Structure formats: structure tokens, C-alpha cells
Chains A and B, each alone.
Chain A
């Protein structure tokens, strides 16, 4: 479990002009959960995510990763092994000239024996469905494939939690779907995914949606609970998924349909 307890954080905390980015955040993320964090630009999402693997240490409060406090420097490498991170731009995080080597980079660096590395790399490629491009140069791959390579690299580290910071924002629609499918696979492997996104429809399969504003968590619940409160969501300069917008509009027009429909399939079932 990742446990965030009354965490506040300010950039340049020691200077004359600190910038308060998190205010008394409490959050618990269980092993295997799929959590989506949404909020407008500057709401504190990425700052919070960087606390999960000790890239940032709270100004006040504590973050525990499987009971290890991120303040405790002797745990820092254990924590970073357990909590991996995928960024927005896949080109900035692939380091090797061949896919397979890129995935092996992490375990090699922490001194995993070669046979074990090969086993992990094979397994990671199998899960991510990229075994057929193992000999390719990463820059020749599509955006979605690149992100899958990045995720495979984290799998090879045997992380239990993967943070994804807007992993789909530079991808085409099919690349986005590849990433969403990867998230489903990770869940089946029992790995937690913490996804930061501006695309609300990517949140509809989450166990928990966390909405941030001004460094605070202002809403938290299942997608159905959160997106059912469309007025509040809009007041935070966010939106509800397109399908939910359709359901709400139809409901306003007098059609007998619930206002918190999330998926296309569900919408069709309600209408037919």
C-alpha cells in the first residue's frame, strides 16, 4: 500500500517566495488498484505523483510505500524499485538503441544476474505484446509501442506500482488505446497503476478517481460517483467523459436514462 498522510509540499520551501503545491493531502492506494488522478494544469497532480517514489519529499506529513517512509534515505532505492514511472514523452525515457536492451537497462543497473535479466525481459515483452519488435530500434516504433517498451522496462524491475504521468497526451487514438490495454494487463498481473490524465474517458475503468484542485484532493470516489457530480467537475475546469455528457443531455431532453453512464456499451444498453 502507498499511504499519504497529511502531506503538504512547497517548491522553494526555504526561499522568500515558496510555491505551495500540495496542502494536507491524505490518500491510500492499495496493491493492485487502478487509480486515476485528474485536475487542471497546476492543480498538484504531478507533484503528488512524484511523492510516491521519493522524487519529492514532503515539506510536512509523510508518505509510506509498503511501510517504508520516503523520508528515510536508506529505503530510497527499494522505494524506487517498487514504484516505477512512465512519462509523457516516450522519446525522453528510452535509453538504448535496441528495444530488448532498453528493457534490460533497469535490472542491469541494480546488478540482477544475466539469466535472470533475460527471463524478466522476455516475460515483460510477452505481457506488453512487444516480443516481435525486440530487435528493433526504439525510435522506429510507433508512439504506443514506445510507451509499451517503457512500461516493459518497469515490469522488468518487478515494480508493484506504476505511475503514468499523461502517457497518452502525445499519442494518436490507437496509441492511446494501446496504453489503456496495457493498463488492463498490468491490473491482471496485480500491479497498481496510478494514471494522471486530462482525458476523462481514460478514468472510466478506474477503481478510484481522485480530483485535485489548488493542491488539495477535492473529490474522491468511483468514476460513477465522481462523474455523476458534473456541475462540480465543470466548476474545476474539467469535464465529464463524452459518453456521460451524452447521457446527461439525453436525460435533460426527457429520455429515460441515468445521468452517470460511463461507457459506450452501457449507453447502448440503456437506449436499446
Chain B
């Protein structure tokens, strides 16, 4: 087990009249190499939870163990933990501060005190991994990049620390459809080619349906569901109740089903939904043909 969370609770402004509890006993297991989606309505505790996973918060109630490091017991190893778990915040490009792409990506590994040639090697391989040719981009000015490119540079900056787990907090927010595709493709590639465990936090059900193996649904500070996207998205009623809504393709299929069509309701993509509709048309047509 790479990540284990047990009975985790969290309150903001504890001990004040404004005390606000956001996590109410979270249990969670993530295996090495998984690509996990974390979804939940705003204020479900997603952002708080992921900050525990790389030691930005230390549990007061509950237990967080990452790759054998118990966050509460072994504070001296926090630095190590933060290297293992790379956290890419919302709008990570706002944190770019160097002049050029190469310098910005080099910042992390330099701070680790790595030798010059190792820093350079890491910068190049991180840029390559996010789909930016180092020869072309190393000396580019940050301000001359597109939104999607800047975001990939920010991801490369985290990647250059050689983490084993990457957590992405709403990585497609504010990007146009092409930028969104680029980032999703990058994440997919990192997972498959770099042997990274990926935790993907998103508000876009459509993105997450296509990307992850397993979904964890957080609501009101608790894990309320976990399963494959197909399992989770078929829970139409529950998803509506917690305020996450449902996939549009699932919406279409459920309505067709309500009208008496014999279709599966859990189509995750446009392609799947259309194939299912067409198959149903054909069945109807051949049925009529026989009569």
C-alpha cells in the first residue's frame, strides 16, 4: 500500500468561534501505480485532504502513512515525503517566477543540492515528459508561452524532483478545449511512461471519466463512494444528492431508458453512447422487420 489514510479529521480555526470541521474520519487506500480520481462538491474537503498526503498538514486526529512514512510519527522525514509526493496546485502557472523555462524547472532540483549535470539531466527529462522539447523550450521566456504550455512547465517543475506520486488539483481549470486535451494527454503519459501513481482532483466529470481507473468520491468530509468510473457514474441518484451531478452521456441514456429504450445507462464517452443508441435502433428495426 503506497498511501493509507485512517480516521482522518480536520478543522480549520480550531478552538475559535469560527471553528469549521471539514474532514470527518476519512479512510483511504491508494496502491502503487494507480490512477485515481478524487471528486466531490466544493467544500467536500478535497483540497484539505490532498495537503495531508504530502505532509503540508500533520494529522491531529487520524493517521496518514505514505510509502512507509507515518506523517505524525516521523516529522524528520517530512522533507523526504514532500519529495516523494509532488503536489500540483490549481493554476500552478501562477507560481512560475523565473525568466526562462529551464531556470524555472531547475529551481527544485537545485534546491536539493544536486550537481549541475544532474540538474540539467532532470530538467531535460522533465520537459520531455510533459511534451516540451528541451532543445526548443529550455531557453524560452516564460511570458512567451501559451496558457497550456505554462501549466506544463509548472508540472515539469514538480516532476524534476522525481516524485513517485503526483497529485493534480483541478489541472484543467481555465484552459480552452485544446489546452485541456494537452494537459490530460500529459497526465496520461506521465502515468504510463514514468510509472507514477497519479491522484487527479477534478470538477470535470467528463475529463475524469476518460482518465482514471478508480474514482474516490468525497462529500461532507467523508469518502462516500469508491469504484471504477462506470460503477460510480451509474449511481445517478446518489451523485445528484451530493451535488456532483451526472455525466451528460449518462443523462441522455437514462432519459432514453425512461422512454422505454433498452439501453445501458453508463456510457462514459460520446462514442460509447452513440454505439449504444445505434445498436438499439438496429434492434428496433430488425424487430419491426420480423413483424
Chain A residues with a Cβ under 8 A of chain B = 39-42, 88, 137, 140, 142-144, 166, 169-175, 177, 198, 200-201, 237-239, 242-243, 245-246, 249-250, 253, 255, 264, 267-268, 271-272
CB-based A-B contact count at 8 angstroms: 104
* Chain A CB within 8 A of B90 CB: yes
Bound Cα distance from A268 to B254, whole angstroms: 10
Query: Is the beta-carbon distance between A171 and B42 smaller than 8 angstroms?
Result: yes
Query: 15 interchain pairs (CB within 8 A)?
Result: A39-B176, A40-B177, A169-B174, A170-B174, A172-B203, A173-B203, A173-B243, A174-B41, A175-B41, A237-B177, A245-B270, A249-B274, A250-B277, A253-B278, A268-B252
Bound Cα distance from A198 to B42, whole angstroms: 20
Which of chain B's residues have a CB closer than 8 A to the CB of A239? 177
Bound Cα distance from A246 to B270, whole angstroms: 6
Query: Is the beta-carbon distance between B176 and A41 smaller than 8 angstroms?
Result: yes
Q: Which of A39, A172, A267 contacts B41 (CB 8 A)?
A: A172
Which of chain B's residues have a CB closer than 8 A to the CB of A39? 176
Min CB gap B147→A, angstroms: 4
Min CB gap B131→A, angstroms: 16
Query: Is the beta-carbon distance between B147 and A172 smaller than 8 angstroms?
Result: no
Known A175-B42, A238-B178, A245-B270; further 5 A-B contacts with Cβ < 8 A = A40-B177, A137-B18, A142-B43, A250-B274, A250-B277
Bound Cα distance from A79 to B23, whole angstroms: 45
* Chain A CB within 8 A of B170 CB: yes
Query: Is the beta-carbon distance between B278 and A173 smaller than 8 angstroms?
Result: no
Bound Cα distance from A237 to B40, whole angstroms: 29
Quick one: given A41-B146, A41-B175, are A201 and B278 in contact (CB under 8 Å)? no
Bound Cα distance from A177 to B273, whole angstroms: 23
Which of chain A's residues have a CB closer than 8 A to the CB of B170? 170
Query: Is the beta-carbon distance between B252 and A237 smaller than 8 angstroms?
Result: no
Q: From A142, A172, A237, A249, name the one whose CB has the most chain B CB atoms within 10 angstroms.
A: A172
Q: From A41, A88, A140, A255, name the one whose CB has the most chain B CB atoms within 10 angstroms.
A: A41
A-B pairs with lowest CB-CB distance, top 3:
A173-B245, A237-B178, A41-B147
Q: Which of B178, B206, B248 contacts A243 (CB 8 A)?
A: B248
Min CB gap A73→B, angstroms: 31
Which of chain A's residues have a CB closer than 8 A to the CB of B60? none
Which of chain B's residues have a CB closer than 8 A to the CB of A249? 270-271, 274
Q: Which of B90, B176, B178 contacts A170 (CB 8 A)?
A: B90
* Chain A CB within 8 A of B61 CB: no
Min CB gap A13→B, angstroms: 17
Which of chain B's residues have a CB closer than 8 A to the CB of A264? 248, 251-252, 255
Bound Cα distance from A175 to B40, whole angstroms: 12
Query: Is the beta-carbon distance between A267 and B252 smaller than 8 angstroms?
Result: yes
Which of chain B's residues have a CB closer than 8 A to the CB of A201? 248
Bound Cα distance from A264 to B255, whole angstroms: 9
* Chain A CB within 8 A of B185 CB: no
Bound Cα distance from A237 to B148, whole angstroms: 12
Query: Is the beta-carbon distance between B252 and A250 smaller than 8 angstroms?
Result: no
Instruction: Report the nearest A residue to B149, measured CB to CB.
Output: A41
Query: Is the beta-carbon distance between A171 and B274 smaller than 8 angstroms?
Result: no
- Can you list, as one digit per residue, whether each of B238-257 has a CB less than 8 Å from chain A (1) or not (0)? 00000111001101100110
Bound Cα distance from A173 to B244, whole angstroms: 6
